[in-house]
Amino acid sequence: MEKLEIKETEILKDFDDVLTFKELKKVLNFGKNKVYKLLQNGDIPSTKIGRDYRILKINVINYLQNQK
């Protein structure tokens, strides 16, 4: 499991602790509809500020680890 943690943190090392929708889309390499579904279903916890989503990096790491 340690290798997975290193891999996910390496993918996200160039990003801030809080990601935008566009950054999440880039990291996951998913289309916008898939990313919206993940956020709206709560698969990746996020906060919506006005029309913009903010996603904690740790939530993305947890999601990626659970997909393995």
CATH architecture of 2-66: Orthogonal Bundle (1.10)
pLDDT of amino acid 10: 80
Residue 23: closest CA among 57, 51, 48: 57
Sketch the domain layout of the chain as residue ranges: 2-66
pLDDT tens for each residue of 12-34 = 888 999 999 999 999 999 999 99
* % of the chain residues with pLDDT over 90: 72
Asked if residue 44 has pLDDT above 70, the reply is yes
SS3 content of the chain, % helix, strand, coil (to 5): 55, 15, 30
Q: Which two tokens stand for residue 48?
A: 């919506």
